[in-house]
A and B are shown apart, each in its own frame.
Chain A
Amino acid sequence: MRGILIAFEGIDGSGKSSQASLLKDWIGLRRDVYLTEWNSSEWIHDIIKEAKKKNMLTPITFSLIHATDFSDRYEKYILPMFKSGFVVICDRYIYTAYVRDSVRGVSLDWVKKLYSFAIKPDFTFYIRIGAETALNRLKKARKTIKPQEAGSDIFPNLDPEEGFLKYQSLITEAYDKISKENNFIELDGNKNPREIQMEIRSKIGELIDNSF
């Protein structure tokens, strides 16, 4: 049985993590499944956190350290699991790096080469939602906007909410630019979560069902 790679992309507050996790539970009833999040390598995660806090990163080192984090999860989990037939769900994949790095002024061409070792997903779900809607959702769920959600490294002088709107709008523009060439399946993030989940399941259902 061949592995299946599913990626979720979208701005912070788009609801993609909930969708990824709902999908994982559903697939888990049928197949071996693994969910991995961006920026979660066991040994690099805390270096990144510390470096961001101390404002140590430049656009290039921001890019490279996230690539190292990705590569660690890729070599350790994603690739071996994919090869052995798992359904691997990635809450953010290489496209997150494409948009975040290019928004910080790093050449997109170089970033693409940097990540050229990664296999392309079978499905990339791009949950598209306005920055304002995303902000309101996050505000409802918790009190504060995290500095990295507000792009505090590139907009140090904006207050968190303003920063969020500006940064996430830039990210959306960058996603829109690469959407077509990377076969993103665009989903309207304004629909209710159940509707979105059903759309996702119907897109991949056939592949999952026929793979027994």
Chain B
Amino acid sequence: MIIAFEGIEGSGRTTHLNIAKKYLEEEGYGVITFGLQMSKLMGERIRQVKKNIVFERRTLFLAYVTDLADQMENVVKPSIESGFIALADGYILTLLSWGLIRGLELNWMKDVLSIFPEPKITFSLISSPEEVIKRIIKRDGYLDPLKVGIDICIREDVFNAFQEYAEKFQKYLVDLSKDKAIVVNTTNSIEEVKKEIVMHIENI
């Protein structure tokens, strides 16, 4: 089965995925992780060319999908078939939110993404834009315009740009999560978030 952690950069996706991974492993499950920009085929290359194609939204979307499909076909599917739990660091709802905010058609994206299996559980992680920005700055040292949606918000100020970006992104993510995903607010302490996540995966 797939358990998906969805959310914007800095929402705590990777942190909580790793905590859940540790928890599941201690419970005796075999776990693999995959996610956006992590494939052998495209992951590194997307990072390299992103600044050149940042305004080619459809292309970038398709590149992300290709990247995910490569992992799905070569790693995730075989692992799931042999009983592993696959944790996704960014999956369908993250890509949809990313595309919606850039004006791509929801139906088109859903059609393209229909090749991917539905997750057993999806967590949509949200937090306040200020908190998210603080986390990115702590991790990277600064706000990288390419990571914070500069292509949709041309503003003189990266903070305002990202604040607006994060608000819109997370609004889309929460909307998409209705009946599909468990929205988890990661502004709470790591321990509290862990409890909430574990509550949902302890009896899988």
Contact = CB atoms under 8 A, between A and B. Distances in A.
Contacts of A61: 41, 66, 69-70, 73
Interface in A59-111: 60-61, 64-65, 67-68, 71-72, 74-76, 110
Interface residues of B, number: 25
B80 interface: no
Contact of B62 (A43, A64, A110, A116): A64
Nearest to A76: B56
B115 A60 contact: yes
Interface in B88-129: 105, 108, 111-112, 114-115
Interface residues of A, number: 22
B40 interface: yes
A71 B65 CA distance: 13
A60 B65 CA distance: 11
Given A68-B59, A117-B108, A60 B73 contact: yes
14 contacts: A44-B63, A47-B41, A47-B45, A51-B41, A56-B40, A58-B73, A64-B62, A65-B66, A68-B63, A71-B56, A76-B59, A110-B115, A117-B58, A117-B105
Interface of B: 40-42, 45, 49, 52-53, 56-59, 62-63, 65-66, 69-70, 73-74, 105, 108, 111-112, 114-115
Given A47-B45, A58-B74, A117-B58, 19 more contacts: A43-B45, A43-B49, A43-B53, A47-B42, A56-B74, A58-B73, A60-B115, A61-B41, A64-B65, A67-B62, A68-B59, A71-B59, A72-B56, A74-B59, A75-B56, A76-B56, A110-B115, A116-B108, A116-B111
Interface of A: 43-44, 47, 51, 56, 58, 60-61, 64-65, 67-68, 71-72, 74-76, 110, 113-114, 116-117
